[in-house]
Structure 1
Amino acid sequence: MISHLAAPEVSLKHLQPRQQDPCREQEGTKSDEGQLPQVVEELRDLQVAPGTRLAKFHLKVKGYPVPRLYWFKDGQPLSTSAHIRMADKKTLHTLEIVSVTREDVGQYAAYISNAVGAAYSSAHLLVRGPDEPEEKSASDVCEQLVPPRILERFTPKKVKRGSSITFSVKVEGCQAPTIHWLKEEAERGVLWIGPNTPGYTMASSAQQHSLVLLDVGRQHQGTYTCIATKAAGQALCSASLHVSGMPKEEEQEKMKEALISTFLQGTTQAISAQMSESAGLTGLAGQRKGEALVAEEAHSHLSLTEVGTEEFLQKLTSQITEMVSAKITQTAGAWR
């Protein structure tokens, strides 16, 4: 039972913390890239009276690299203001609501991420006067004690611009969990995807939950996270989406082609000069033919994806050396 305290300044009550998905704790291990963000202390539901001077959420997280944390209320991002204060001290993160009103009622959530993965925690803020009846929970024992568990996960994907893609998860639970979808991009932060978010369609059927992306473009690229949450806890699944065929990538391909062409042009000129010095004068037509063959041979052995890498330079140097030796030997033999 939740007790009501009369004094607004202290009428603050922490409700029972939510449980973590056991699979989520297993995921909080170290890898070659670092450590997955893990919530050490979850957010807890708060109940306060109207006019309370300060309502304070706090949670502790760990992970490496140091995770980024984003705050949301009812799916909308929060930012610092005179009414909302945020603080970070090492692993402890706090969110404070100043001079609480009934408009502050809602679900508050923290999305935590780093290069390895993501974590999530949420809680509710209830604003109720001492004379108001307490709301009865309709949750049964199963809802209260068993957190959701993800049975089937989606994986990282790479698709072409203009195509369609679906992320799907299968979630186990005696009652259907609440499903949230988020997209994170380093340059733009986190997007909380809702039913009316342009470019996205959400669907749920029994244990299957999906996010559909139509006509994929630059705006869809990023890391997607599905969060299944109930009163007992949460379960997460995250994976990245890379969109190929973007204008920037097409421009890079053209630059690679230009790089090869410029490099080979200079190289064939050097080959021609060395051939002339070693074997005497040759016909202009033969020289041009030799240059064309050199360029064709070099281009046929090069992969555009290797341009600029150390392997590319080593391969190109080796091929040019072989071709120079072969052409000099061939020309010298013809003049003997």
Structure 2
Amino acid sequence: MQPQTAISGRSVRFSTQVSGLPQPQVFWYKDSEVLSTSYKCKFLHDGDEHTLLLLEVFPEDAGEYSCTVSNRFAEERTFAVTGKRPEFTKTIESLQRQEGAQGVFSYTVTGDPLPEVQWLKGTSHIQPSGFCIIVNNPDGSGFINIKSVKQEHSGIYTCKASNQYGEASSGTAECHTELCVIDKPNFVRPLGSVAAVVGAALHLECQVDEDTGVTVSWTRDGRKVHQSPDCKLLFEDKTVTLDILKTTLKDCGNYVCTVANEAGSASCSTTVKVQGKSYLVKFQGNCSICNFCKSAVLEVNTVQFSGVHFR
């Protein structure tokens, strides 16, 4: 039998000559599955010629057809292959790239005849250019290479393969794949100056323009600040915060917030000053500050007690 190329909706005929004594039995198969008479599949017999007639073929009818003839002395099988509609052997993985990197989508497709492959971004067809290389190999493999991705290259890409037996699209379940171009984070609102009081809460806040794959770290005077029951670190909706519930004198210093992703990093800083509380201290008696008074009222800062003496 000869391989056949068919047009969708038309009929296809496979014929083979059969002879033998006793009269052989004839069976027809599609992809190793035996065929039986149906509204579109007919078996014809005229002398030694046996024919399989497919009355109306569609892309799903493409495949390998065979005929087995046998009697008690021997068995023989002949094959014929119709065209095959395109089929991607694996999905095309989505990509996340930083600006300036290469974005390469690869595919492998089967089909007979070899399918024609097209790439689309959204609904627009992509043509080869100085920044975009498209390769379709004779073995059914190929790729598209965007040599230096930019933010405008982000989006949904579709790879389509087609021949006269049908069309296939590969990618996610929606037949698409995605390119996400990320930029390094930058501060749109850096840390501001902060003055805190012992025992009060301390709140530091800044905002960035990118949160894709971004990690955040804090340091105080070069030492890493860790999350703890007394220190809450949060990164949400592109806003970075550090909250100390009860500030102590040791919380003063230079705070640096660093945000980073695959594309790079950025930092901002502020100096935190912590002041002691002020108290009114009343005395009855003599004071070394004023030997002429028998009573005194002093306003003393808790961080300056070392310079005041009482008796």
TM-score range, shorter chain: 0.3 to 0.5
The TM-score normalised by the length of structure 2 is: 0.41
Greater helix proportion: 1
The TM-score normalised by the length of structure 1 is: 0.38
Structure with larger RCO (C-alpha < 8 A, sep 6+): 1
Question: In terms of Rg, which structure is larger?
Answer: 2
